[in-house]
Amino acid sequence: MFESLKAFPTDPILGISAAYAADASTDKVDVGVGVYRDETGQTPVMKAVRLATARVAAAETTKSYLPTSGNAGFNRAITELVLGLSHPAVVEGRAVTLQTPGGCGALRLAADLVHLVAPLSPVALSAPTWPNHPALLGGAGLTTVAYPYYDAVSRTLRFDAMLAFLETLPPGAVLLLQPSCHNPTGADLAPAQWEELIALVKRRSLLPLLDLAYQGLGEGLEADVHWLRRMTAEVPECLVTVSCSKNFGLYRERTGAVIYVGRSPVETQAVHTNLMMLARRMYSMPPDHGAALVATIWADAELRAAWQQELDGMRERLARLRRELATALAASLPGQEYSFIAAQRGMFSLLGLAPGVVEALRRDHHVYCAPDSRINIAGLSGIGIERLVAALVRLT
């Protein structure tokens, strides 16, 4: 049956990890896949996660099924973390959160929900965006279109072009936005731009799909969802997808959620049951472990404080690495402009390098960034900055 299948190309991001692992060089630098790394280059298990793991294991009495909507304590925690308990939709019972297998599972479920009612609605994605966005949403049968977002050569947002493009979308089109720490550019909208965008979304009746994968790694837990909360409070309907991979370090536990905010509790309840139907058809229910850890951390003041403190440290370290890299580049490449790296937030910046330079970085200098020249700032621990800068001096 499957004779006609040709080998499928390696994933552009996950493939970098495999290539890095296969490189025998002792000077190699991994700034590819978006995982947090500490000074030793490890992706650590967070302290609060370790403590919660012991508690969950000790308290667990069964491995029986979860409901299709997942772990109820986790769903409450995510609602509070992302929307906050004073959000009008939460107060009025117009918001619902459903645990999913990671942020990818959330995106797929959100896409399936859109496809159920509006299969022809286009989904607008930023150019550039995370390569798995078009794959996931297109894989659910939706058509994706690209809106101008960032110019990698001038290192600036293309906000006017973005608005002009969004004006051409039909009502009901889905607009995927990243509320903070934009992947792959590291460039987020300014407050005045968010205001303008919210007005446009309302006027053009677009459906925002807010993909939140880095809460806490940009400016802070609250600051990173400021505009998400504004948007979800002002538009009649909205979807949010959440990942706990980076801010809880739960990557392989596949811990995420989809949030729907609707016009009325009745409408929200109807969407909730349809999300459960779609989940049941696809994977039945999400895995419990990561969600149980998040729920345990959230419910315990000491664990929550320890988690926040470690997350604050991760965010501050990313900001420091950004400053150090920008300073080192300014010193070694005086004619080139790299100050944008220090001004951006989160895990990524886009260096704006030609594909040939990306290839030479890997082949000749053992520096592994994403094919679009996105670097993971956290991967620059130890002497990573020195090695990256030395390679760029040779190549640019």
Nearest approach, Cβ of 329 to ligand LMR (angstroms)? 22
Long-range contact set of residues 356-360: C-beta below 8 Å, sequence gap at least 24: 357/395, 357/396, 360/395
Write the DSSP string, 242-305: EE-TTTS--GGG-EEEEEEE-SSHHHHHHHHHHHHHHHHHHTSS--SHHHHHHHHHHH-HHHHH
How far apart CA 112 and CA 225 sit, in angstroms, is 25
- Our answer to whether residue 246 is catalytic in this structure is yes
Nearest approach, Cβ of 286 to ligand LMR (angstroms)? 17
Say whether residue 13 binds ligand LMR (CB under 6 A): yes
**Are 324 and 230 spatial neighbours (Cβ–Cβ below 8 Å)?**
no
Nearest approach, Cβ of 103 to ligand LMR (angstroms)? 8
| Peptide bond before residue 128 is cis, with ω within 30 degrees of 0 | yes
Q: How many residues bind ligand LMR (CB under 6 A)?
A: 6
Name the one residue in this structure whose structure tokens are 């992947």: 183
Say whether residue 286 binds ligand LMR (CB under 6 A): no
| Peptide bond before residue 184 is cis, with ω within 30 degrees of 0 | yes
Nearest approach, Cβ of 42 to ligand LMR (angstroms)? 17
Catalytic residue among 213, 279, 295, 391: 213
Q: Which is nearer to ligand LMR, 132 or 269 (CB)?
A: 132
Site for ligand LMR in 72-131 (CB under 6 A): 130
- Our answer to whether residue 47 is catalytic in this structure is no
Q: Which is nearer to ligand LMR, 132 or 396 (CB)?
A: 132
- Cα-Cα-Cα-Cα dihedral of 166, 171, 174, 179, to 10°? 60
- Our answer to whether residue 130 is catalytic in this structure is yes
Q: What are phi and psi of 188, to 5 degrees?
A: -105, 160
Nearest approach, Cβ of 144 to ligand LMR (angstroms)? 17
Q: Which of 17, 53, 132, 396 binds ligand LMR (CB under 6 A)?
A: 132
Q: Which is nearer to ligand LMR, 262 or 379 (CB)?
A: 379
Q: Which of 34, 287, 352, 379 binds ligand LMR (CB under 6 A)?
A: 34
How far apart CA 379 and CA 41 sit, in angstroms, is 7
Q: Which of 31, 33, 113, 291 binds ligand LMR (CB under 6 A)?
A: 33
Closest by CA to 349, choosing from 359, 339, 357, is: 339
Site for ligand LMR in 149-188 (CB under 6 A): 183
Catalytic residues: 130, 211, 213, 246
* Residues engaged in binding ligand LMR (CB under 6 A): 13, 33-34, 130, 132, 183
